[in-house]
Amino acid sequence: MSARYGMVIDLDRCTGCGSCMVACAAENNVPPPVPRATPRTGLTPMLVRKLSNGKDGADLREAFIPITCMQCEHETPCVSVCPQQAVEVDKSTGIVMQIPQRCLGCRYCMTACPYHARYFNWWDPQWPPGMEKSLNPGVSVRMRGVVEKCNLCHARFHTANEKAAAAGKTQIDPADYVPACVEACPTGAILFGDLADANDPVSTAAHSPDAFRLLARIGTEPKIHYRTTQAWIRTLADKNSDRPTEAQHV
Amino acid sequence: MKVSRRDLLVGGAGVTAGFLFTPVPWKLLGDVSIWTQNWPWIPQPAHGPVDTKQSACTLCAAGCGIRVRMAAGWPVGISGVKTNPMTKGTLCPLGFAAHQLNWHPQRLREVRHRGRTASWADAQTAFEKACTEGPVAIFDGRPGRAASSVLQAFAAKHNGSYRVVPSPETQALTPYADWSGVPVSALGYDLENARTIVSFGASLLDGWGTPGRFTHLWSEKAAGATDPQLRLLQIEPTLSRSAARAWRWIPIREGSEGALATGLARVLLEERLVATQSPMAPMTLEDAAAQTGLGTEAIRDLARTLVEQRPTLVIAADGNPAIAALNHLLGAVGSPGGIALKSKPNLSHVRPQPNIGPNRAVLLDSSVPWDFVPETTAEVFRFAAWDGGSSKADWLLPSPGFLEELTDVPTAPTSAVDTYAVSVNLIQQSEEVKNTAQFLAKIDSTLPDVEKLIHSRCEEIFGAKLGMVFAEQQTPVTKFESAQKLEEQLRQGAIWMGNPPKPGGFRCILQEWPARTAPSHTSDWAAAWLPPVLPPLAAKLYQESNLRDVPARREV
Amino acid sequence: MRRYLLVFGFGFALALIVGWVAFPRALYVSRQQPLDFYHKTHAEKSGLTQCDSCHVLGSDGTFSGIPRMEVCAGCHTDKLGTSQSEAVLVESYLKPARETPWLVYSRQPANVWFSHAIHTRRAGLACTDCHGNYGESDETRVYQQNRISSYSRDIWGHSISRLRRAPHDGMKMTDCESCHRRHKVEVGCLGCHQ
């Protein structure tokens, strides 16, 4: 039976602390930025953006939206443009998998991605001397000139799968496979699970009336869902998703 | 035989044709392409056994429970401990990259004397000389630890004074200590039972106290609800993260927190919204309105909201007594959902000694924040694991970094319950660093030993037979066979938690309404972080994204 | 004309000799293991005949690989015999509690994820299917390292042409793929990469 891993991110619970961004970078051996890196050229496979209603004084309201690879299920834009077959939608998990070692750095996928969730390694990944000892052995370090993105912490899937195999099971224990951002969220705003399993809480949440997907109208069927009870957040989230770095005002 | 040019060409053609029938071109092509995937200057993760350990974070006084993933003997990942009753598996964003701090370019690894390299022997000689010549002051940023007892013992024996640099959270509790006579370390906030929380600029949702404790509570009781079980009112000039996510944000003029508190008190007393006896607040409602920029009606409304859904707890960002007095008015002192008195035994009660005149030398423990610079002409000895730039210290003494020393973690400053955890040195302490206790032990060998002190504290907890030890399972202290077993569990990352506070127990007596003091600002998100440097990955939050402002103490 | 054919043939033959004989020798640099180790001796003298006597699969599926010094120390509390290697083991590694810097013949690059648990438990492969009968060897093989890619020669396989190989000779991606294809195992890129 094949799984469809996805998330429901509760925007009403997100405080914009950024724990998910740091935990993601640490888990996936994302290097610290070079001094001249900017939000445009940085590497943030998980990125929290600020949403603001742009009003003055006491009417100003802000919310935060974590943006990661949306794991598009249908006509996945990055897969269809890659000349290298460096991206594929995994049949058994539904994860949009990026193999940086195969990437030739043309960045078609970055242009094609409607969510700006892909990042280019503009510089050699470098850590201060000695800090390479803190690298996660489950994830290989990328190199300059390739594109990377969220693989839903695939190293953790490997670990869970290996554990299941050792126990003689064919299915992983859902408790063993939790991406770093989900684990790090202090308010439990990110719900992660198998959308193909109707009993999984993530399936129920994805079908609730408060749930929505970014740019649902273009039909890529992302497996990252959002939810909020606030209409203004919902409107802004969708508008903001095609602005790569700046907070969008209405 | 003469070799012609044509022979060479034909022979060359033969060689070329021949090579096509050998593995040379194909193998070289393959190997070169592999070579281009493995540039020697790109670091590779080390090979080695992978293991998970539990401990407590030592980067601030909160002491959150951490799960440390170790590979080849080094920490490679940090996450929260779900079974920890205080943090419930949460950490602050900086904690997730804390394991990289030990290799921060500003890590101190040598003794420095006024900018020049010196040795530990030089530092010891200089400090010993200072001790014989006059009084020394020893500053501790995190009282209640086993190491604190060592500092206290040294100060007591050598004509010195032991002083504490209180955190902003501790300062905010000081007025209640002054009014009730209870030591400030015995006080805490009973957040869990409050139904309205009014924050005067305290960054409740962004690193305040034990970061995960309030965020978790807010997420369960308040997030997204229009009529939440827990109302969070944030009074702050700017739309902070806490204000953005609060039930109500009340923007006021910078520095007018005390005026608003006094105005609110006036309404509460005038309209008899509270039953507490108190001297009248010395400010008219109009004055308060003018200073805060709110209308008089807005202040009246706010005062009525304060008593709408009780218990109501007021939290200040600093020690402003006018704000603290609101809690007294609201009856939140010593009652459920208010300012709580921790039950005994309390391990961290410290009464700092008063200043006793000019000092010959000042010693700053590594727990003292880097931006604390004592105004003194004395010789300053500063312990620190990271160099935060200008410090005015004569001696910079390199201390153990993250997870490099055995230390204990006493109750967090805002906690309403006593807790005790142990943070073991998962990484071997390198030879060039020493902590304050080790340094002082070289001078006076009769000082108590940190390890033995931790041992005796575990015996104290075991002897008192109170509370619970939280590991994978929860075990009441009474179920432990011996103090050693209890200590063993704590050293493996468990946390002991005392009994919840009982209502009452102490009272505040307010003779007159306290004068307002202008609140200091703690809006810088990285300010609560003890090390003067941030983990390099924290730059994702402010350099590679627009999520946060560049912190004031940004690393060079 | 015949002369040119001869010259061409000479060049052709020279290329063949260089390509098939000299090139493989020049491509690999031989490195000595830190000490000699004999699987056969361990099997015969200590009865450690099963691979998992020393190479253990943990309950969480992690594979120990070459055992750590504490496993060796379980038997080698002191010198067991008079060989040079035994002396090196005890003096250089056992007593100072240092890990032996073995050169791992089957070490895959950092972007490869391989799970022994999945291959042995789930797929039911035997150790010898990939490693051959190395467990019965009575010699310490020389570790040959590719000068360009720095990989072990075992990855490409010992036959430079990759023709007429023993079934377990070679651990390249194509070898993984062909075995997966034979057993109708369908995995995506990140099934084996990390």
Distance CA C113, CA B113 (A): 49
- Contact of B426 with chain A, judged by CB distance below 8 Å, is answered with no
Query: For residue B249, which residues of chain A lie inside 8 Å, CB to CB?
Result: 58
> Which CATH number goes with the domain that contains A168?
3.30.70.20
Minimal Cβ distance to C121: which of A91, A101, A165: A165
Model confidence at B351: pLDDT above 60: no
Rounded mean pLDDT of chain B? 90
Model confidence at B528: pLDDT above 90: no
Cα of C72 to nearest chain A Cα, Å: 24
Determine, for residues B44 and A48 on separate chains, whether the beta-carbon distance falls below 8 Å.
no
Q: Taking a C-beta distance cutoff of 8 angstroms, is the pair A88, A75 a contact?
A: no
Inside any domain, residue C40: no
Q: What is the pLDDT of residues A21-49, one digit of tens each?
A: 999 999 999 999 999 999 999 999 999 99
Query: For residue A134, which residues of chain B lie inside 8 Å, CB to CB?
Result: 74-76, 99-100, 103
The pLDDT value recorded for residue B348 is 46
The pLDDT value recorded for residue A1 is 56
Q: What integer is the mean pLDDT of B137-166? A: 91
Inside any domain, residue C185: yes
Q: Of B115, B109, B134, B111, which Cα lies nearest the Cα of B123?
A: B111
Query: For residue C11, which residues of chain B lie inside 8 Å, CB to CB?
Result: 10-18
**Cα–Cα distances in angstroms (integers) from residue B208 to residues B92, B242, B366, in the given order:** 10, 10, 21
Inside any domain, residue C154: yes
pLDDT confidence of B523, banded at 50, 70, 90? low
Determine, for residues A125 and B47 on separate chains, whether the beta-carbon distance falls below 8 Å.
no
Q: Taking a C-beta distance cutoff of 8 angstroms, is the pair B352, B545 a contact?
A: no
Percent of chain A with pLDDT over 90: 88
Q: What is the pLDDT of residues B224-233, one digit of tens each?
A: 888 999 999 9
Task: Retrieve residue B352's tokens.
Answer: 């700092």
Q: How many CB pairs under 8 A join B and C?
A: 92
Minimal Cβ distance to B96: which of A26, A44, A245: A26
Instruction: Provide the domain limits for residue C172.
Output: 103-194
Instruction: Provide the domain limits for residue A131.
Output: 5-249
Q: Please, which residues have CB within 8 angstroms of residue B313's CB and are 6 or more apart in sequence?
A: B189, B190, B191, B194, B196, B197, B198, B327, B330, B332, B337, B338, B339
Burial of B496 per CB tally in 10 Å (0-12, 13-18, 19+): buried
Determine, for residues C121 and A101 on separate chains, whether the beta-carbon distance falls below 8 Å.
no
The pLDDT value recorded for residue B357 is 64
Cα of C122 to nearest chain A Cα, Å: 6
The pLDDT value recorded for residue B347 is 44
Model confidence at A145: pLDDT above 60: yes
* Chain B residue with Cα closest to A104: B37
Q: What integer is the mean pLDDT of B415-421? A: 93
Determine, for residues C189 and A91 on separate chains, whether the beta-carbon distance falls below 8 Å.
no
* Chain A residue with Cα closest to B219: A187
| Domain count within chain A | 1
Query: For residue B34, which residues of chain C lie inside 8 Å, CB to CB?
Result: 109, 148-149, 151
Q: What is the pLDDT of residues B155-200, one digit of tens each?
A: 999 888 898 888 888 889 999 998 888 888 889 999 999 999 999 9
The pLDDT value recorded for residue B552 is 76
Q: What is the pLDDT of residues B234-247, one digit of tens each?
A: 999 999 999 999 99
Q: What integer is the mean pLDDT of B353-366? A: 78
The pLDDT value recorded for residue B352 is 52
Determine, for residues A162 and C59 on separate chains, whether the beta-carbon distance falls below 8 Å.
no
| Domain count within chain C | 1
Q: What is the pLDDT of residues C42-93, one digit of tens each?
A: 888 888 888 888 999 988 989 988 998 888 888 888 777 788 888 888 888 9
Least confidently predicted of B211-220, B378-387, B514-523: B514-523
Model confidence at B459: pLDDT above 60: yes
Inside any domain, residue C91: no
Cα of C9 to nearest chain B Cα, Å: 6
Which residue type is seen at B171? Q
* Chain A residue with Cα closest to B89: A186
pLDDT confidence of A250, banded at 50, 70, 90? very low
More confident call, B403 vs C48: B403
Peptide bond into B311 cis (omega under 30): yes
Query: For residue C13, which residues of chain B lie inside 8 Å, CB to CB?
Result: 14, 18
